[in-house]
Amino acid sequence: MEHVSVLKKEAIDYLNIKNDGIYYDATYGGGGHTKEILKRDIITLYATDKDLNVKPIEDNKLIFVKSDFVEFLNNDKYKDIFFDGILADFGVSNMQILGEDRGFSFLHDYYLDMRMDQTQELDAHYVVNNYSSEELFIIIKKYGEEKFASRIANSIVRNRPIDTTFQLVDAVKQVKKSNKKNINPATQTFQAIRIEVNQELKKIEDFLDLAVNRLKKGGRLVVISFHSLEDRIVKWRFIEYKKDCICPKDLPVCSCDKVSLGNIITRKPLTPSEDELKLNPKSRSAKLRVFERI
């Protein structure tokens, strides 16, 4: 199944692309956003993805780097490049969900992997079979926002060894039933384990802090998130970037020396239109926020 980029038109519009600009697509994935940016008369587009299965298109304006977005922005080779716009889409692509032996989804019975970077050692199989019930409870509660986290953690431990996605789903279903919306009861558990394996939230925080400081004046940071944990990080990071003085109000003279980095362009996050939801129901949880550097 081809990956469908979410909020593609909105993301490109809010990048406010200049003909002579330099841009960065931090999450290449299926290349949907990248291809759209390349239609413009820009100078250069950098793009990164750490998934070994990603095959970038060929274009003389595109510089693709097989890399994590944090590693790329920290790389000495690219540290002097400043961008007119940076785009990040934190969704998991269909290539990853449906790929054999990736274990991202409970739709097929695959080995528990869930690594976005297949060169790293930690995978979902290790987490599920080696973390204590207390450690599992913490990540399922924190990253999955799952109210049955304790029961699920204990069930996972009882059912070990757990080697495949279906075995993990069975362990969850022993203590949690489907709801009225017929959402798979293991959905939040899979999300939590995937976030733990890939350290997604920590990397998002690090990425945002690096990215906002690599924008040119007037450059924009466009971020698409897919669940409340991600969106919350983006929202509060943008608020922090916008603040100037953070001294106590009763202090007569500023001593913090904090300067505002820019403005929040989207007062509220953008969400998919009704037309997009009809074409791609999986886009329903997407939220887009934009920050502009001054």
The string of pLDDT tens digits covering residues 105-163 is 888 899 999 998 888 999 999 999 999 999 999 999 999 999 999 999 999 999 999 99
Q: How far is the C-alpha of 157 from the C-alpha of 28, rounded, in Å?
A: 36
Mean pLDDT of 96-108: 70
Mean predicted confidence (pLDDT) in 193-216: 97
Phi, psi of 238 (to 5 degrees): -65, -40
CA distance 141 to 193: 11
CATH superfamily placement of domain 95-198: Putative methyltransferase TM0872, insert domain (1.10.150.170)
Nearest to 29 by CA among 105, 113, 91, 98: 91
Domain with CATH 1.10.150.170 in the chain: 95-198
Quick: pLDDT tens for 248-276. 877 778 777 788 999 999 999 999 999 99
pTM of the model: 0.90
Q: Pinpoint the residues of the chain covered by CATH 3.40.50.150.
A: 8-89+201-293
Confidence of residue 1 (pLDDT cuts 50, 70, 90): very low
Give tens-digit pLDDT for 33-72. 999 999 999 999 999 998 888 889 999 999 999 999 999 9
Alpha-carbon span 254 to 266, nearest angstrom: 29
What is the pLDDT at residue 51? 84
Q: What pLDDT does 272 receive?
A: 94
Tell me, rounded to whole angstroms, the distance of Cα 160 from its chain centroid.
Answer: 30
Query: What is the number of other CB atoms lying within 10 angstroms of the CB of residue 57?
Result: 12
- For 141, the enclosing helix (H) or strand (E) is helix 133-144
Burial 191-228 (b: 16+ CB within 10 A, else e): bbbbbbbbebbebbebbbebbbebbeeebbbbbbbbbe
Q: Within a 10 A sphere around the Cβ of 170, how many other Cβ atoms? A: 14
pLDDT band at 281 (very low <50, low <70, confident <90, very high): confident
Architecture of domain 8-89+201-293: 3-Layer(aba) Sandwich (3.40)
